[in-house]
Structure 1
Amino acid sequence: MLKTPIARGVALATLGATLAIPTMAQAAFFEDTKANLELRNFYFNRDFRQDGAAQSKQEEWAQGFLLRVESGYTEGTVGFGVDAIGLLGVKLDSGGGRYGNGSQLLPGDGDSAADDFSELGLTAKAKFSETVLKVGTMQFKNPAVANSDSRLLPALMQGANLVSKEIDGLTLDIGYANRNNQRASSDNEVMSLNGVTANNNNTRGIQMSAGAANQSDDFRFAGATYKFMDNLSGSYYYSKLEDLYKQSTFNLIHVLPIGEGQSLKTDLRYSRSKDDGSTNIDNKAFGAMVTYSLSGHSFGLGYQKMSGDTGFAYLGGNVDPYLVNFVQINDFANKDEKSWQARYDYNFAAMGIPGLTFMTRYITGDNFDRVTGADAGTEGKEWERNTDIAYTFQEGALKNLNVKWRNATSRNNYGNDLDENRLIVSYTIPLM
């Protein structure tokens, strides 16, 4: 990541500032520093099940190393610090017709996966009272933008973020980004809009204006989250990808205690997306998820509806959309699509097996138009089924080792039919 001017500038400025501060003022800087190394072993297998598929499957196995360092702050009215993230991905197995476009774990090296890739990101930070400013390598996670961390290495961005908690219960969040670093890449690239195809022919209905390019080097957002009471919070975020779209997002979360070990959680989401000069984006996205919890059991029902001239708009480059029906493979956000979700979770700690968890869900969507082939214009339909089983060892030599198996089946009548398995083994070693 140090290839970009912003990263080099942050590194030099941070180093210079740190060296210029008297040694006594740096005491908290070092004492509060935290560092850990995560070892992430990832096996990914995706089978293409539709007739005439150009490739039968994608299969990769890789080892990831994630070093995270967070310094404390120097003493004084304004404290300064620096964070760092070092990432390394190493291929263990791939190739032989199993690698293809849209690699899941590793970047490409011709017609096969690269043997390894690495990156280093630095972030300068300053703190005044309960306000923190960070500049450099960012990993955002909010309703406006959430960089994915669901593969070997996380997706990152270059930019800045100001978070303020000066008022009790209120969090203000302002950010900016000009480059995107995808999870299977070492390059910082200009940003783009998800869901756009070269011929403007897609189930999302999103089109570029004549002569316009699907790229931007200016993404910004501003939001506020307020905790009205212990069990009720709400948020509003405004975001804009220059020339491509602008979006307002509302969220309300309420948890109702019912009785001993019981609760009812309601998660309501609404987004309004419009074009910003070079697209036809016009979307209203409503989502609701209601979850009833009893001891270790959780039962959830979700509903999501798209309306307007297009489907949902969000950043491309491995960014997770803020939708209740965004799941392992699909987001169910096509033009006019309506989708439903049924979900069940169980935490085996309730029956004396702490560390073992289970989740399964089923999502089905319809009411959108198919856009290709002889069936163009007819109703599109899709469904997806997910199952997660995870266990974290609680004691012994393997304490804190986490093993997770993720399985997904996706079917539709307009594109790829997929069967997918992911096996992730991770272990985090505290260094400081």
Structure 2
Amino acid sequence: MTKYKLSAIALALMTSVPALAAGQADSKGFVEDSSLDLFLRNAYMNRDYKHGADDKVEWGQGAVLTFNSGFTQGVVGFGVDAFGQYAVRLDSGRGRAGAGGIDFFMIDNNGDVEKDVAHAGAAIKARFSNTVLSYGDQQPALPVLSHDNSRLLPEAYTGTMITSNEIDGLTVHAGRFHAQHRKSDEGRDSGGLKSIEVLGGSYQFSDNFRAALYASDVEDRLKRQYANLNYVLPMDQNDTLTLDFSGYRTKQDKDWDGSGDRNNLWSLSANYATGPHDFTVAYQRSSGDTGYNYGFYQNQGAVGDGGTTIWVANSFWSDFNAEDERSWQFGYGHDFTQYGIPGLSYNFAYIYGTDINDGTGRGSGSEREIFNQLKYVVQSGAAKDMSIRLRSSFLRVSNNASAYNDDGNEVRIFVDFPMNIL
């Protein structure tokens, strides 16, 4: 797991939508603490499959307008969060689009790719001390319920969430959501979710050590627990060694899979950062009766816990989460600031997985992926904070694992431009 990915997970574990201010006692008011942001994304994805699956190509322009109010003053403060999002299709690769592939846009009942997609939502919120209760459309970022923002538009969920920071260093989440809005569809309840309950939290024991524990119950699908331990060891000359353990335990419902299968998925990674370089080695293990299922699982239908709910080290294009799979990673990251190009970074990873059981009885299979990403963030001027991200993955799968995954080459070009309006 590269350093940038470790940092993103650490931040998400300590926060959740809606964003928390210092506390109700510090509230300046509904309007005074409000913000209005516009996020533009131009995204292109191309998946060139080598066997079995059809190639997928999609290109679109998306826009997300987000309003986060402050809280009214008083013992209990009230506020509103709202968003509106719209995306237009620029190209669908001559029909090579739709769910099951890239999933920027849905395919309608006539078999045509939708020309655009729009969705809006809002949530009301109340804060007492350092605890926020929110109800409505939200985008949770938790290890057992993580909305997918890896495509053109993000997912959203409708329900209730409590986020509490009453104890210094401790963040607690508890929530229940009863509808899922898929990223490529306009329907408020387009994800097939009956309900999901989540409970857990993270605690910062010291500046260097953090732990997290979460659980979820997806109605008529599965029950899942997650644990994380993260330790940062400072070294000489500002070098750091970061050790991270993440693990899931899942029990699927018999009414869903017919047998109540179980899965254990965990990873252990070490990242050494020195100057502009960081190096990562990681090991990941999947065991049990089945692979790790999450998000939208094609063979058994929607899980409903979000398209990025797999916070382990070896999750790239492939998640290396097949039944019985063992995988190893070597990663490298480079920051070009000291060479006079601040904002430019490069990340590479090689991941190799073995012992795959794809359910066909043909023996253990294997897969390997080469991941590359070049990213530049504009540092100043009218386009400040705009980022350009070029990503490619080369995935190769052995014949006796073809029922689990497919060979392919993937290219992603994302241009993101966040703007603060208010």
For this structure pair, what is the TM-score category when the shorter chain's length is used for normalisation? 0.7 to 0.9
Cα deviation for residue 322 of structure 1 reads: 3.0
Cα deviation for residue 370 of structure 1 reads: 3.0
Cα deviation for residue 277 of structure 1 reads: 4.4
Aligned 8 A contact 2:386 2:417 in 1: yes
Matches within 5 A, 1:193-204: none
TM-score computed with the length of structure 2 as normaliser: 0.85
Structure 2 residue aligned with 1:282:
262
Matches within 5 A, 1:361-380: 361-372=349-360, 376-380=361-365
Structure 1 residue aligned with 2:125:
125
Aligned 8 A contact 1:252 1:269 in 2: yes
CA distance in 2, matches of 1:116, 1:358: 33
Of 379, 387, 392, the residue aligned with 2:377 is 392
Structure 1 residue aligned with 2:188:
188
Aligned AA (1:169): G
Structure 1 residue aligned with 2:71:
73
Structure 1 residue aligned with 2:390:
405
Structure 1 residue aligned with 2:7:
none
Distance 1:218 1:97, change over 3 A: closer
Of 211, 221, 224, the residue aligned with 1:244 is 221
Matches within 5 A, 1:163-178: 163-178=163-178
Distance 1:132 1:417, change over 3 A: same
Matches within 5 A, 1:112-151: 112-151=112-151
Of 326, 338, 343, the residue aligned with 2:326 is 338
Aligned 8 A contact 2:284 2:314 in 1: no
Q: Does 1:265 align with 2:264?
A: no
Aligned 8 A contact 2:98 2:106 in 1: no
Aligned AA (1:226): Y
Structure 1 residue aligned with 2:299:
none
Cα deviation for residue 77 of structure 1 reads: 0.6
Q: Which has the larger radius of gyration?
A: 1
Q: Secondary structure at the match of 2:338?
A: helix
CA distance in 2, matches of 1:191, 1:246: 18
CA distance in 2, matches of 1:148, 1:364: 25
Q: Secondary structure at the match of 1:260?
A: helix
Q: Does 1:91 align with 2:89?
A: yes
Cα deviation for residue 254 of structure 1 reads: 0.3
Cα deviation for residue 240 of structure 1 reads: 0.9
Aligned 8 A contact 1:190 1:217 in 2: no
Cα deviation for residue 54 of structure 1 reads: 5.3
CA distance in 2, matches of 1:169, 1:383: 39
CA distance in 2, matches of 1:42, 1:330: 20
Q: Secondary structure at the match of 2:337?
A: helix
Matches within 5 A, 1:146-165: 146-165=146-165
Structure 1 residue aligned with 2:410:
420
Structure 1 residue aligned with 2:290:
310
Structure 2 residue aligned with 1:179:
179
- CA RMSD of the aligned region, Å? 1.9
Of 191, 202, 211, the residue aligned with 1:234 is 211
Distance 1:190 1:97, change over 3 A: closer
Cα deviation for residue 397 of structure 1 reads: 3.9
Aligned AA (2:94): G
Listed one character per residue, the Cα deviations across residues 359-388 of structure 1 (whole Å, up to 9, x for unaligned) are 01111111122334xxx4311211111111
Aligned AA (1:142): L
Cα deviation for residue 217 of structure 1 reads: 0.9
Listed one character per residue, the Cα deviations across residues 171-214 of structure 1 (whole Å, up to 9, x for unaligned) are 1111111111111111133756xxxxxxxxxxxxxxxxxxxxxx
Structure 2 residue aligned with 1:46:
47
CA distance in 2, matches of 1:428, 1:54: 35
CA distance in 1, matches of 2:314, 2:139: 19
CA distance in 2, matches of 1:323, 1:400: 26
CA distance in 1, matches of 2:412, 2:357: 31
Identity %: 35
Distance 1:74 1:101, change over 3 A: closer
Q: Secondary structure at the match of 1:264?
A: strand
CA distance in 1, matches of 2:93, 2:346: 32
Aligned 8 A contact 1:99 1:112 in 2: no
CA distance in 2, matches of 1:363, 1:33: 43
Consecutive aligned runs of 4 or more in structure 1 exceeding 4 Å deviation:
none
Cα deviation for residue 242 of structure 1 reads: 1.9
Bigger shift: 240-249 or 31-40? 240-249
Aligned 8 A contact 2:62 2:153 in 1: yes
Aligned AA (2:367): E
CA distance in 2, matches of 1:104, 1:325: 24
Aligned AA (2:327): S
Bigger shift: 308-317 or 362-371? 308-317
Bigger shift: 88-97 or 379-388? 88-97
Bigger shift: 61-70 or 314-323? 314-323
Structure 2 residue aligned with 1:319:
307
Aligned 8 A contact 2:210 2:231 in 1: yes
Aligned 8 A contact 1:289 1:324 in 2: no
Distance 1:233 1:27, change over 3 A: closer
